[in-house]
Amino acid sequence: MPSLTLLLQSVLSGLFLGGLYGLLGLGLSLTWGMLRLINLTYFALAFLGAYLTYQLATVFRVDPLLTLLLIIPGFFLLGVLLQEAFVRAGVNEFISLIVTFGLTLIIEAVIQWIWTADFRRLESGYGAISFRIGKLFVPLPELLAFLIAAAVSFLTWAWLKWTYVGKAMRATAEDPQIAAAFGVNHRRLALLISGLGAAYAGIAGAFIALIYTLAPSQVYAWIGVVFAAVIIGGLGNPLGLLAAGILIGVSEAVTMAVTAPGWAPLVSFTLLILVLLLRPERI
Amino acid sequence: MTMRRVPAPVLFLLVGAGLAVVPSFGLPAFFESFLYICFLWAALATSWTILSGYTGYFSFGHGAFFGAGIYTTATLAVSFGWPFLWTLPVAGLLAALFGVGIGAVAFRVRRLRGELFALLTLAVTFVLSTIVLNTKIDGGPGVFLSAVPLPKTFGSPVGTIYLLGLAIALVTVWSAYAIYHSRWGMGLFAIRGDEDVAEVLGVPTYRYKLVAFGLSCFFAGLAGGLHASFLTYVTVAESFSLLVAMDAILMSMFGGMTHWFGPSVGAGLMTTILYSLTGGGSAILNRILIGAILIVVIIFLPEGVFGRFVHRLARRRARRASAQPSPPVLTQDAPARPANPGTSLLVCADVRKAFRGLQALARVSLEVHEGEILGLVGPNGSGKSTLINVVSGYYRLDGGRLSFAGQNLAALEAHRIARLGVSRTYQIPRPVKWLSVLDNVALAAMFGPHTYDRPTARAHAWRWLVFTGLADKALALPGSLNLHQRKLLELARALASEPRLLLLDEVLSGLTPTEMAGALQLIRQIRDRGTTVVFVEHVMRAILDLTDRVVVLNYGHVIADGAPRDVMRQPDVVKAYLGKAYA
Amino acid sequence: MLEVADLDVAYGDAPALWNVSLTVRDRELVAIVGPNGAGKTTLINAIAGLLPARRGDIRFGGHDLSRCAAHQVCGHGIAIVPEGRRLFIAMTVEENLEIGCYIPTARTARQKSLDRVYSIFPILRERRRQAAGALSGGMQQMLAIGRALMACPRLLLLDEPSLGLAPALVDHLFEVVTEIHRDGVAVLLVEQNVAKALEIAGRAYVLEQGRIVSEGPPADLLRQPHIQEAYLGHGGQVA
């Protein structure tokens, strides 16, 4: 049985990781919940963002956090274009899964082509900074990632809850026909949410570059866990997703500390299976 | 299982024999490997199609069962020293057991369709791979099978692997072929088209899906067991890779996932493309290609290369078969059922059904007498369709008694109710899109009370198509019919099971007056041949013309029950329809 | 104000409306009655832009609505209370009302409209933070009407508002409709409950199997056998 400190440290890192799960899954959750489209491309886009951050920071010496200024609008545009392409190709809910998997394959392969399969590590000043709370270490990049994730989730939730556009988004998700009867333009909202999702993925990518060593194949490693978080948290529910992400992150971390690291994935997928079997209406 | 074309088993034998002797031609080893890979993927893609192509339940977990097969063989051969050949059937069986275990639970969940099943099977892959990775089965470093002795054919163990690969591919494809032409296959396609309709027609959907899943996993496991010996070194990452599942799906879709031969065509084509363009080398180009083909195929070629070819042939055949349109004619070869007019056939006593606070049926009591045409009417929302759904088994009763020919219906599953002789049509026609008009009707004959086999059912189906005037459209797909014809198809399908009780749900809506007159004529003939009819309608003139007795529902209660003209003049009936001023 | 001319509407290949023409003038309360399957909801949905017309014209205040996209119709001054209410059940009562005034012209009058709706339906104010799905049928109907009122419409389309309501509530419902009409909103009311509809309407059309078979003031219609024929299959006396 590991020491209390070790356990608490695990919980903390699980917490931070959970926030990142939430951020990474936010685009998927929103577009699935609101547009009934399962868009796996966000994972590949996140890694594209990660590699771009790495490139800008390493080769052009741009501060990694400043790269966000480029990434956010650029990826937003990408998301808009992607949604427009889906509409024109007539992609519906089911084939969206396969089409976006195809896109993910292509983007990931292109990433490998450009940056090779070699591991890439972004060395930045941020990585060296960490705080101490009692006996616990709090590394700055992870903390930042978590805070940004939490802020973005909260802001998105607030946007959906309190603004007109947010409410229109929720209405059109439920009944696009009647929402249109009251003036809600579904197509435009769909572009907006897709753009947002891609921008979120880009942000997540920037932090992944700050925290982890990059390799193209890692795109796939995150898909399963984030999917689980999205479904457990409830589609289109930013705060639910964050909570689910944290739940999964913490349980994984504790499992790793108590047993062996390899058992961690079992947690999220068993939870996912249970949710699918017991609460299929979540989808 | 019957086979449609006599030469088929001969064809399989010829192809098998031909391919079997290829290694003896002395070609470079590359060809054997290439062909073996084709066989492997043919087996994987075809086994995937047996469940997912035929029923529409997309499994994303084929990799799990493939991996299970790989590791069963690896573990048994390496850790327990089993002879290699004996591990193969065990690999298949174990994978099948996993599949059946998952299916037994998953298929019971009523709303687990489409994407959910895909995600579930995906999750299973991850769980299984984690377990294998972290226990003694693999533990991390992978398993070496190079020391496992293999019997030699054509002078080397590679020849054995080649032959086994061929054998497994042949068995898998032959199974797909046999299922495709069997009654079971028809049921699977019906499930794909519209599972609720299939269940109400008498298809035992749960059982059929489960067995298809089990068989699909069996072949995947079998292929996995063999592939372990080909690879000689297996790791969890490669064995349970998501790419295995996606490749199988892609190849099946590329060739045509609803046909028994489509996946093999897809496997052959894809393997050839990948090898010739990338030399099996550049994994990057491989992935880009796979991704691109995946997108293009599913958007622009949903039927698949071979599938489109097959459909075009079928359409051409259908057009050629279009004869002169024949008017509805009563054929005399089927004996009219001797009816006991007047006896109670269906009894509803205090039937209750509520949905989320709305009491759709509130203590409904009525009787349907054998040989009559009973009209069921009432304003919108009065519960007419709900009653039909309850009687046919689509909904469960909340309370009360429901019996048909003495049998208690409340506890029966819908397909068992169909077997008793209850049949229904849908207000908005729900034909099975994938089956021809003839097969749609034959479906009912196959799974109704008589459970005919496929050829007999088809013969019966012809009769009903002639009866309803659809004979010239027999080979067409329902999508090419207009509304009137689709309603006639509904009728023909409902009749083909030769039911004792026929429930017609607003069959006249959307028809022109002439079409309506024809439909009424048909219904009269149906009754004259001994079928009892419950006729839900809004078109009052039809009710008055056709029915012997009318029951009026309002807000889920029976408010009148008697001769049509009398009932429609009763004050509370008038009030229910028109409001107080008229009563 | 509203002119429908020679409208043909179909669901796929199933024709639902043939050659339907009707008008609603400023501040009128017009009813459309007819049995089930007659096409009443199809007609309302076509006017609201939810269904495309195969042939014919829909003009409102001089504008050609058949050229509008679905989300532009509301801006012209038409609001719909759909059959079965079709509320946003996951959203609260007040949020449902706010979607009603989503269009820019209505948004500026949000508070005023809210106050007005709450004064007509005080019970909605009590429950304004409740999810719409948790309300009873009668309250849901009131919310649906309130939502439409929030759009400050010149024409209100009501599709079978009495459906699924207990008889006592139906009376209250029609009182509300009359009151709204008195405030100056034109109403096109589709109803199965003929007696109630004819009580409050100034003019009515009878729709049977996709065609208008009769029109005129309620008194005239009550004298003709068309309505009884259509609903009950006979034009004769009640037993």
**B515 or C114, which is more confident?**
C114
- Contact state of A101 with B246 under an 8 Å Cβ cutoff: yes
pLDDT of B155 reads 67
Cβ B298–A265 below 8 Å, yes or no?
Answer: no
Q: Return the residue matching tokens 């993925």.
A: A201
Residue B508 three-state SS: coil
Q: Name the residue among B107, B3, B124 with its Cα closest to residue B51.
A: B107
Closest Cα of chain C to A29: distance in Å? Answer: 17
pLDDT of residue B1: 38
Q: Any idea what DSSP says for residue B116? A: H
Over chain C, what is the mean pLDDT?
A: 86
C-alpha to C-alpha distance for B446 and B456, rounded to whole angstroms: 8
Which of A193-202, C28-37, C145-154 bottoms out in mean pLDDT, i.e. has the lowest?
A: C28-37
Question: What's the rounded Cα separation, in Å, for the pair C66 and A269?
Answer: 51
How many other β-carbons are positioned within 10 Å of the β-carbon of residue B111?
10
Region A138-163 average pLDDT: 93
Neighbouring subunits of C (3+ Cβ pairs under 8 A)? A, B
Better-predicted residue by pLDDT, B583 or A88 = A88
A77: part of which helix (H) or strand (E)? helix A67-89
Total number of residues shown for chain B: 583
Query: Among all chains, which residue has been given the structure tokens 């003839």?
Result: B438
Q: Determine the pLDDT at residue B484.
A: 84
User: Over 60: is that where the pLDDT of A263 sits?
Assistant: yes
Contact C142, C123 (CB under 8 A): yes
Nearest CA in chain B to C133: B356
> How far is the alpha carbon of C79 from chain A, nearest alpha carbon, in Å?
7
Token pair, residue A159, equals 């946007």
The interaxial angle of helices A93-115 and B242-255, nearest 10 deg, is 120
Which letter does DSSP use for residue C71 in this model?
A: G
Please tell me the distance in Å from B54's CA to the nearest CA on chain A.
17
Q: Report how far residue B252's alpha carbon sits from residue B246's, in angstroms, rounded to the nearest whole number.
A: 10
Q: What is the pLDDT of residues A22-54, one digit of tens each?
A: 999 999 999 998 898 989 999 999 999 999 999
For an interface test with B, which of A115, A235, A277, A279 has the most B Cβ atoms less than 10 Å from its Cβ? A277
For residue A180, the chain C residues in CB contact (below 8 A) are 49-50, 69-71
In chain A, domain spans? 14-224+233-243
For residue B328, what pLDDT is reported? 44
Pairing of strands B501-505, B422-424: parallel
Residue C12: band (very low, low, confident or very high) from pLDDT cuts 50, 70, 90: low
Residues of A in contact with C100 (CB under 8 A): 182
Task: Name residue A133's beta-bridge partners.
Answer: A136
Out of A164, A174, A175, the one facing C102 most closely (by C-beta) is A164
Residue listed under structure tokens 């079971």: B184
> Are the beta carbons of B130 and A272 separated by less than 8 Å?
no
Chain A closest CA to B116's CA: distance in Å? 7
| Share of residues in chain A with pLDDT > 70 (%) | 99
Asked if A272's CB is within 8 angstroms of B291's CB, the reply is no
The pLDDT, as a whole number, for residue B207 is 94
Q: Do A265 and B130 touch (CB under 8 A)?
A: yes
- Chain A CB contacts of B290 under 8 Å are 102, 105
Q: What is the pLDDT along chain B (583 residues), one digit of tens a residue?
A: 344 455 677 888 888 888 888 777 777 778 888 899 999 999 999 999 999 999 989 898 999 999 999 999 998 888 888 888 889 999 999 999 999 999 998 888 776 667 778 888 988 998 898 888 888 777 778 888 777 777 777 667 778 888 899 999 999 999 999 999 899 999 999 999 889 899 999 999 999 999 999 999 999 999 999 999 888 888 888 888 888 888 899 899 889 988 999 999 999 998 888 877 765 557 788 788 888 888 888 888 888 888 888 888 887 877 776 654 444 444 445 555 655 777 888 999 999 998 876 788 988 999 999 989 999 998 877 888 899 999 998 888 888 999 998 889 988 888 999 999 999 998 888 998 878 899 999 999 999 888 788 888 888 899 889 888 888 888 888 888 888 888 899 999 999 988 999 999 988 877 777 888 888 988 998 888 889 999 998 888 888 889 999 999 988 899 999 999 888 888 888 887 776 655 4
CA distance B99 to chain C (A): 37
Is C80–A181 a contact, with Cβ atoms under 8 angstroms apart?
A: yes
Q: Which residue of B has its CA nearest to C138?
A: B358
C-beta atoms of B578 and C230 within 8 A: no
B237 touches A at CB < 8 Å:
no
Among positive and negative, which fits the CA dihedral B543, B549, B554, B555? negative
Strand, coil or helix: C15:
strand
Percent of chain C exceeding pLDDT 90 equals 30
Q: Among candidates C210, C235, C230, C189, which has minimal Cα distance to C35?
A: C230
Shortest CA gap C215–chain B (Å): 17
B514 touches chain C (CB under 8 A): no
Give the residue from chain A lying closest to C47, CA to CA: A181
A90 touches chain B (CB under 8 A): yes
Q: Please, what CATH class does the domain formed by B344-582 belong to? A: alpha beta
Backbone angles phi, psi at B346, to 5 degrees: -120, 130
Residue B510: its chain C contacts at CB < 8 A?
14-16
Is A280 an interface residue toward B (CB < 8 Å)?
Answer: yes
Q: Give the tokens for residue B249.
A: 């799906």
Give the three-state DSSP class for B417. helix
Q: ipTM of this predicted complex?
A: 0.89
Quick one: pLDDT at residue B112?
A: 63
Containing C80, the helix (H) or strand (E) segment is strand C78-81
Which residues 175-194 on chain C approach chain B with CB closer than 8 angstroms?
Answer: 192-194
Report DSSP letters for B291-334, one per residue.
HHHHHHHHHH-TT-HHHHHHHHHHHHHHHHH----------SSS
- Cα dist from B82 to A250, B73, B78, B136, B143, whole Å: 42, 9, 8, 17, 15
Greatest CA separation found in chain B? 97
In contact, B261 and B56? CB cutoff 8 Å: no
* List of residues 6+ apart from C205 with CB closer than 8 A: C22, C30, C31, C32, C33, C212, C214, C215
Question: Between B114, B119, B284, which is nearest A109 by CB?
Answer: B284
Q: Among candidates B60, B77, B157, B76, which has minimal Cα distance to B115?
A: B60
| pLDDT at residue A245 is higher than 50 | yes
A138 touches chain B (CB under 8 A): no
- Distance, CA of B129 to CA of B132 (rounded, Å): 5
- pLDDT class of C237 with cuts at 50, 70, 90: very low
Every domain of chain B and the residues it spans: 62-315, 344-582
Whether the CA torsion B261, B266, B271, B277 is positive or negative: it is: positive
C-alpha span between C233 and C236 (Å, rounded): 9
CA distance linking residue B245 with residue A98, whole number of Å = 12
CA B565 – CA C234 distance, rounded (Å) = 9
Q: Does B292 touch chain A (CB under 8 A)?
A: yes
DSSP state of B157: H
Residues 6+ positions from C98 with CB-CB distance below 8 Å:
A164, A167, C110, C150
Q: Count Cα atoms within 13 angstroms, Cβ side, for B99.
A: 34
Residue the block writes with tokens 């329809």: B577
Q: Is residue B398 a contact partner of residue B354, using CB atoms and an 8 Å limit? A: yes
In chain C the domains, ranked by start, together with CATH numbers, are: 1-69+190-239 (3.40.50.300)
Calpha distance A156→B466 (Å, rounded): 61
Query: Given A98, A113, A260, which is nearest B298 (Cβ)?
Result: A98
Which of A177, A182, A185 faces C99 most closely, judged by CB atoms? A182
Q: Which of A90-104, A194-208, B288-302, B498-512 has the highest mean pLDDT?
A: A194-208
- Cβ–Cβ of A178/C82 closer than 8 Å? yes
Q: Say if the Cβ atoms of B133 and A262 lie within 8 Å.
A: yes
Cα gap C190→C44, rounded to integer Å: 8
Sort out which chain C residues have CB atoms less than 8 A from B506's CB and list them: 37
- Reported confidence tier of residue C236, pLDDT bands at 50, 70, 90: very low
CB spacing of A277 vs B105 below 8 angstroms: yes
| Side chain identity at residue B473, one-letter code | K
B7 φ, ψ to 5°?
-70, -10
Dihedral over Cα of B455, B457, B463, B468: its sign = negative
Per the CB < 8 Å rule, is A167 touching C151?
A: no
DSSP 8-class letter at B498: -
